[in-house]
């Protein structure tokens, strides 16, 4: 269950009640949107977050779920030799869904668009797991061998990578970098690293 989405649905219903009591705005539309969010929250599992060595003997050493860039949201899958970025959802697709729901229900519709985007991302996670394609590059994914990296920097919220494909920045929750810093330093060659290592407060 995704608690944040459930609370969003509850908040939308409370907002609808205030509009109904204060302005006489019909509760049916906003109430339905709120209930829809609660349902989405119930059926959408919590994202896995950080996974170290998911299999005792296997190529995957670390999974970061999730991170975002200008092109979308990704699972970052690190092995001994490369980074595979598994696309969960495109930024354009997420914005389009949010826009459609915003047109229908204004601000509460936009929040619902985000909730739908989270469900779509989860369906993509399920597909990756079912087909066992964590280390396989499929449509929308990216692969960066460590040997092609020329510069890597891990800050409090970002992983910056310069490689043969050009510079790239991915954003992640603030709590992730201090936890994964040591593992990334172990996997990615020392010649690539610049800047200090984030540490827990």
Tens of pLDDT, residue by residue over 28-79, are: 878 888 898 899 999 998 888 999 988 878 899 999 999 999 888 999 999 9
Q: Which two tokens stand for residue 70?
A: 């200008």
**How much is the pLDDT for 31?**
86
Q: Which pLDDT does position 20 carry in this prediction?
A: 83
- Summarize pLDDT for 84-136 with one digit per residue, the tens: 999 998 877 667 766 776 666 666 767 777 788 888 889 999 999 899 999 99
CA nearest to 64, candidates 78, 76, 79: 76
Whether the per-residue pLDDT at 201 is higher than 60: the answer is no
Contact at 8 Å (CB) between 74 and 87? Answer: yes
Mean pLDDT of 7-22: 87
* 133-160 pLDDT per residue, tens: 999 999 999 999 999 999 999 999 999 9
Element (H, E) at 50: strand 49-52
What is the end-to-end Cα distance of the chain in Å, rounded? 29
Mean pLDDT of 11-20: 86
Task: Rounding to the nearest 10 degrees, give the CA dihedral for residues 14, 15, 17, 22.
Answer: 140
Better-scored residue on pLDDT, 70 or 177: 177
| Whether the Cβ atoms of residue 74 and residue 58 lie closer than 8 Å to each other | no
Residue 188 clears pLDDT 70, i.e. is over it: yes
pTM: 0.83
The answer to whether 117 and 94 have CB atoms below 8 angstroms apart is: yes
d(CA 122, CA 46): 9
Position 78 scores a pLDDT of: 97
Q: Does the structure show a pLDDT above 90 at 1?
A: no
What is the CB neighbour count within 10 angstroms for residue 66?
24
Residue 62: closest CA among 185, 198, 158, 189 = 185
- 3-state SS, residue 103: helix
Higher-scoring residue by pLDDT: 22, 64: 64
For residues 178 and 144, what is the distance between their CA atoms, to the nearest angstrom?
22
Instruction: State the pLDDT at residue 60.
Output: 94
Q: Where are the alpha helices (DSSP H) in 50-175?
A: 91-131
Amino acid 68: pLDDT: 92
Structure-block tokens of residue 82: 């490369």
What is the predicted pLDDT for the residue at 83? 97
């Amino acid at each position: 269950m995704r608690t944040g989405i459930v609370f969003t649905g509850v908040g939308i219903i409370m907002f609808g009640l205030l509009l109904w009591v204060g302005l006489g705005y019909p509760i049916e539309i906003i109430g339905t949107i709120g209930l829809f969010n609660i349902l989405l929250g119930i059926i959408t599992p919590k994202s896995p977050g950080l996974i170290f060595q998911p299999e005792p003997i296997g190529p995957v050493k670390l999974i970061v779920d999730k991170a975002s860039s200008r092109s979308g949201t990704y699972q970052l899958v690190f092995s001994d030799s490369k980074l595979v970025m598994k696309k969960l959802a495109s930024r354009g697709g997420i914005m389009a869904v949010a826009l459609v729901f915003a047109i229908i229900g204004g601000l509460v519709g936009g929040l619902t668009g985000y909730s739908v985007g989270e469900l779509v991302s989860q369906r993509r996670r399920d597909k990756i797991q079912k087909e066992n394609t964590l280390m396989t590059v499929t449509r929308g994914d990216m692969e960066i061998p460590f040997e092609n990296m020329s510069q890597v920097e891990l800050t409090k919220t970002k992983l910056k990578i310069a490689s043969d494909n050009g510079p790239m920045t991915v954003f992640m929750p603030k709590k992730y970098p201090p936890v994964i810093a040591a593992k990334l330093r172990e996997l990615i060659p020392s010649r690539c690293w610049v800047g200090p290592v984030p540490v827990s407060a």
